[in-house]
Amino acid sequence: MKPFNVFPYGSNFNFMRMRWVSLILAALIMFAAIGAMVTKGFNFALDFTGGTSVELRFDKPVSVDQVRAKLAAQGYDSAQVQSFGSPNELLIRLQPREGMAQRDSAETADEVRNIVTTAENPAQRLRSGYVGPQVGKELALNGLYAVLFVVVGFLIYISFRFEWKFAVAATLTTMHDVVVVAGWFAFSGHEFDLTVLAGVLSVMGFSINDTIVVFDRVRENFRGMRASPEEVLNKSINQTLSRTVITSFVAFLTVLALYIYGGGSLKGMAESQMIGIIIGTLSSIFVACPLLTLWFLKVTKQDLMPKARDEAALARRP
């Protein structure tokens, strides 16, 4: 595998020397993201705020992107358009424009039909209705429960596989990545819908996977190297550096293709994943291991040595 290394085999970049700089920079970015969420808030989509749902049937197959562009030109910038049933049928979900009553769903539906109808391909309204904000509150609460469930699962799994210090460090790193990604959407004002929430949850999975790979090498080196904890951590990062960069680059290319060719309905999810991959890769290098050198999280050789029962089990093997 040496020819596939991005960095020279046996490289020894001194990441631990920059640990205070990297941790302070990561903290500043995270606090800036939190500030954006508190001051600006999110541009929640129809999934969370409520609005009108319209089902249309056309005489001929219709382009989703063209319909979305027509609605945006008339002031419905955040309209969600997708095919369902057949290429002739569309489901359109949108928020009323300013000055229009929230529950004027029939009036909104008629206006939408008139906007997208052409002489060559007229549209017929099948049904329309109002989606209340209460549904959005339930979805947001369920998303919060999902995040908490994942965090608790991380703590249990990593504590069982490694040691509690690793579990805390990995969870803090992952939450840092999630906060930064969410803060980007608050800062940029890009629409936050269920697909973005799904992207944020996938970022958690990618980030923790990358961190565990590094931590696994840390555990191996602590048991085999005679060196200080900082040297062991630094060596572990260098040994997994090429793997981390290659994996992240391939994943980024995949999500970039989804961002470019996946259409408007998947653009938010792809955007959150691209940012998450970049932040997750950097945090696994510059945040996760440096956390293991601080205060109560400082890891020692004794923390990772095989327990007595493990040594007894090894001694019984033929």
Same domain, 262 and 166: yes
What lies within 8 Å, CB to CB, of 177 at 6+ separation is: 203, 204, 207, 276, 279, 280, 283
pLDDT of residue 25: 93
Q: Report yes or no on whether pTM surpasses 0.85.
A: no
**Whether residue 285 sits in one domain with residue 190:** yes
Nearest C-alpha neighbor of 91 from the set 83, 101, 99, 103 = 83
Are 32 and 122 in the same domain?
no
Asked, for residue 317, whether it belongs to a domain, the answer is: no
Residue 313 class from Cβ within 10 Å (0-12 exposed, 13-18 middle, 19+ buried)? Answer: exposed
Residues 27 and 115 occupy one common structural domain: no
Same domain, 184 and 86: no
**pLDDT mean values, one per 10 residues, the chain (318 residues):** 59 81 92 92 77 83 84 79 78 69 67 84 81 65 78 77 80 90 90 84 84 84 77 86 87 90 81 92 88 79 54 48
CATH number at residue 91: 3.30.70.100
Last residue of a domain, one of 131, 161, 176: 131
In a domain, 195, yes or no: yes
- Which helix (H) or strand (E) element contains residue 51? strand 51-58
Q: Residue 119 domain-assigned? A: yes
Residue 316 domain-assigned? no
Longest dimension (CA), the chain: 83
Instruction: Judge if 303 and 174 occupy the same domain.
Output: yes
pLDDT value at residue 96: 64
Amino acid at 4: F
Pure H helices in the chain: 19-39, 46-49, 64-73, 105-116, 133-161, 164-188, 194-224, 229-261, 264-286, 288-291, 301-304, 308-316
How many domains is the chain built from?
2
2 found inside a domain: no
User: Same structural domain for residues 297 and 243?
Assistant: yes
My answer on whether 161 and 15 are in the same domain is yes
| DSSP 8-state assignment for residue 279 | H
Residues 145 and 244 in one domain: yes
Q: What is the CATH number of the domain that holds 151?
A: 1.20.1640.10
Name the domain boundary from 102, 131, 160.
131
Q: Both 215 and 91 in a single domain?
A: no
pLDDT at 24: 92
279 and 145 housed in the same domain: yes
Last residue of a domain, one of 93, 111, 131: 131
Residue 4 lies in a domain: no
- CA distances to 15, 41, 61, 188 from 185, rounded to whole Å, are 30, 9, 34, 5
Residue 118 lies in a domain: yes
Q: What's the pLDDT at 304?
A: 60
Name the strands in the sheet holding 51-58, side by side, starting at the edge strand that comes first in the sequence: 80-84, 86-94, 51-58, 123-131
The boundaries of the domain holding residue 228 are 11-42+135-310
pLDDT of residue 274: 93
Whether 63 maps to a domain, the answer reads: yes
On whether both 303 and 156 belong to a single domain, the answer is yes
